């Protein structure tokens, strides 16, 4: 009977119905209709018993083949549903292993802060006290006490950020223009021998490749009964040799002027690396403390002498690492900063 319109029709109906089943529940319900107890196929099988053995054998085989084809259509559709389910789960649980992981990065000290710490260590090791002071200063500590009276032309060497607030004398407060403002403050609370360094932030209206409106300085001060310019040279060169970890440092003391030192010198150092190699960069002001300043410290200038220096931390850092532009330190570009970790 295979090939008979009946069986072919049953198979075609089952294939179509199974293929159209929208979900597993519908499919299993349709299964009963084509393969269950009350299905046409089961009825045909039951009817076989009434036939002659010869005919029964032939027809039975045909019905079984038809039944297998219906089961095959059912299983194919079941497979489609389970494949779809797996694919759906795979898509939902997909992990893109090529994405960079969520790392929490570890911070590190800014290169200028590394210089700050290095310098503190070096001077501390040769007996200097490390002190700290206010960033907002009075006119007196920043200028007048340092032998720069009001209207003195030397004040215009430093373009100053003034605040609206005023001090007790009615003079505007200001952001300290140099760490030298700490010289007299420190000497007012420490007796000689005075041997201190004061690192800190300073401010001037200035901005180019070697100047920035906020920068860091370290002030050094050594006052005792016979501290000379030779001591300044000895201490400063020893410091630079330790800081740069080499003995062949090229520096020069260039005669200069500061109101609070006499004689005065600027200390220049030669770039060894980077595109500035061969150029000189001023790294420090320095000199013998002026008698008027000693007087403002409450010290007798006939008894005491000493030296002071004020060095730029950004500039020392530029020389140490061959950095060409000071502004790189303040741009917060991680590609630049990571080179110093």
CB 288 within 8 A of CB 261: yes
Q: Does 309 bind ligand PHE (CB under 6 A)?
A: yes
Interatomic CA distance for residues 59 and 10, integer angstroms:
15
Percent of residues in the chain assigned helix, strand, coil, to nearest 5: 45, 20, 35
User: Considering only residues 258, 271, 304, 340, which one is a binding residue for ligand PHE as defined by CB under 6 A?
Assistant: 258
- Sole binder of ligand PHE in the list 111, 259, 287, 306 (CB under 6 A): 287
Whether the bond between 263 and the residue before it is cis, its omega within 30 degrees of 0, is: yes
* Stretch touching ligand PHE by CB under 6 A, among 48-56, 91-99, 162-170, 256-264: 256-264
Pick from 199, 200, 306, 310: which binds ligand PHE (CB under 6 A)?
310
Backbone angles phi, psi at 132, to 5 degrees: -140, 155
Of 254, 129, 255, the residue nearest 193 (C-alpha): 129
Q: How many CA atoms lie within 13 A of 137 on its CB side?
A: 28
Find the radius of gyration of the CA atoms of the chain: 46
For the chain, the maximum distance between any two Cα atoms, rounded to a whole number of angstroms, is 145
For tokens 């009964």, the residue is 225
Q: Are 183 and 298 in contact (CB under 8 A)?
A: no
State in angstroms the smallest separation of the CB of 332 from ligand PHE: 25
Using DSSP, state whether 48 is helix, strand or coil.
helix
- According to DSSP, residue 226 is labeled T
Please report how close the Cβ of residue 319 comes to ligand PHE at its closest, in angstroms. 17
Pick the piece of the chain touching ligand PHE (CB under 6 A) from 70-78, 192-200, 282-290, 315-323. Answer: 282-290
Only segment of 63-71, 73-81, 162-170, 283-291 that touches ligand PHE (CB under 6 A): 283-291
State the minimum distance, in angstroms, from the CB of residue 188 to ligand PHE: 17
Least CB distance to ligand PHE at residue 314 (A): 13
Residue 286 within binding range of ligand PHE, rule CB under 6 A: yes
Residues 148-207 that bind ligand PHE (CB under 6 A): 178, 180
Min dist. Cβ of residue 336 to ligand PHE (A): 26
Does residue 212 interact with ligand PHE by CB under 6 A? no
* Residue 145 within binding range of ligand PHE, rule CB under 6 A: no
Residues lying near ligand PHE in the complex (CB under 6 A): 178, 180, 258, 261, 264, 285-287, 308-310
């Amino acid at each position: 009977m295979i090939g008979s319109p009946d069986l072919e029709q049953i198979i075609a109906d089952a294939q179509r119905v199974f293929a159209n089943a929208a979900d597993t529940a519908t499919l299993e319900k349709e299964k009963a209709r084509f393969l269950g107890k009350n299905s046409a196929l089961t009825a045909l099988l039951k009817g076989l018993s009434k036939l002659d053995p010869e005919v029964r054998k032939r027809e039975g085989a045909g019905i079984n083949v038809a039944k297998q084809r219906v089961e095959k259509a059912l299983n194919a559709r079941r497979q489609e549903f389970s494949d779809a389910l797996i694919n759906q789960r795979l898509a939902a649980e997909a992990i893109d292993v090529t994405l960079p992981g969520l790392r929490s990065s570890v911070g590190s000290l800014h290169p200028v802060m590394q210089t700050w710490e290095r310098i503190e260590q070096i001077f501390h090791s040769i007996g200097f006290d490390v002190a700290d002071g206010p960033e907002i200063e009075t006119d007196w500590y920043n200028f007048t006490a340092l032998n720069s009276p009001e209207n003195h032309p030397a004040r215009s060497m430093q373009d100053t950020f003034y605040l609206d607030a005023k001090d007790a004398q009615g003079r505007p407060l200001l952001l300290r223009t140099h760490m030298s403002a700490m010289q007299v403050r420190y000497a007012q609370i420490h007796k000689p021998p005075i041997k201190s360094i004061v690192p800190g932030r300073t401010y001037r209206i200035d901005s180019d490749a070697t100047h920035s409106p906020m920068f860091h300085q370290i002030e050094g001060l050594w006052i005792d009964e016979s501290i000379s310019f030779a001591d300044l040279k000895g201490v400063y060169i020893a410091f630079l040799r330790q800081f740069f970890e080499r003995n062949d440092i090229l520096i020069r003391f260039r005669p200069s002027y500061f109101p609070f030192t006499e004689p005065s010198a600027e200390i220049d150092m030669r770039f060894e690396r980077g595109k500035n190699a061969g150029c000189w960069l001023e790294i420090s002001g320095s000199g013998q403390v002026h008698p008027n300043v000693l007087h403002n410290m409450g010290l007798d200038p006939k008894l005491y002498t000493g030296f002071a220096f004020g060095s730029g931390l950004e500039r020392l850092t530029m020389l140490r690492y061959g950095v060409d532009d000071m502004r790189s330190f303040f741009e917060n570009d991680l590609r630049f900063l990571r080179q110093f970790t």
